[in-house]
Amino acid sequence: MDTLEKELIGSLIKQPGLIDTFHEFIFTDGVLQSEFCKKLIKALKYLRSNGIEIDGAILRSHIETTEGSSEEIKIFFLELNDDKITPNFNYLLSLLLLRKKRKEAISIGEQLINIETQNPENYNALLLQLFDKFERVISDEIREISPVHFEPLSRYILELGSKKAIGMSTGFPELDNLFGAFNWSEFIVVGGRPGMGKSTLTFNIALYSALTHKIPTAILSLDYSDKNCYSKLLSILTEVEFKKFTQNEFSDEEIYKIKDASKLLLSNDLIVNAPISPTLKNIIYKIHYLKREYGIKLIVIDYLQLIEIENTKHNRDHVISAISRKLKELSRSLSITIIATSQLSRAVEYRGGDKRPVLSDLRESGSLEQDADSVWFVYRPEYYGLTEDEVGNSTAGIGEIIIAKNKSGACGSARLNFKSSIPTFKNLDISESNNLHEIKSTWDLSNTRKDEFS
Q: Binning pLDDT at 50, 70 and 90, where does residue 297 land? A: very high
Q: Taking residues 51-66, what's their average pLDDT? A: 84
Tell me, yes or no, if the pTM score tops 0.85: no
**Nearest Cα to 209, choosing from 269, 158, 165, 120?**
269
Query: Residues with Cβ < 8 Å from 262, sequence gap 6 or more?
Result: 234
- What pLDDT does residue 392 have? 81
Contact 9, 40 (CB under 8 A): yes
Structural class in CATH, domain 3-139: mainly alpha
Residues of the chain with CATH 3.40.50.300: 173-438
- What pLDDT does residue 121 have? 61
**Whether residue 148 has pLDDT greater than 70:** no
In this predicted model, which residue has the larger pLDDT, 123 or 449?
A: 123
Regarding beta strands 270-273 and 217-221, do their DSSP bridges make them parallel or antiparallel, or are they unpaired? Answer: parallel
Q: Binning pLDDT at 50, 70 and 90, where does residue 131 land? A: confident
Structural class in CATH, domain 173-438: alpha beta
**Whether residue 82 has pLDDT greater than 60:** no
- What pLDDT does residue 440 have? 44
Regarding beta strands 412-419 and 398-406, do their DSSP bridges make them parallel or antiparallel, or are they unpaired? Answer: antiparallel
- What pLDDT does residue 395 have? 85
**Nearest Cα to 236, choosing from 429, 421, 452?**
421
Instruction: Please report, in angstroms and rounded to a whole number, the separation of the first and last CA atoms in the chain.
Output: 73
Residues of the chain with CATH 1.10.860.10: 3-139
d(CA 245, CA 240) in angstroms, rounded, equals 8
d(CA 338, CA 187) in angstroms, rounded, equals 5
Give the pLDDT confidence of 216-257 residue by residue, as tens digits. 999 999 988 888 888 899 999 888 888 888 888 888 888 988
Q: Binning pLDDT at 50, 70 and 90, where does residue 165 land? A: low
Mean pLDDT of the chain: 79
Give the pLDDT confidence of 100-114 residue by residue, as tens digits. 888 888 888 888 777
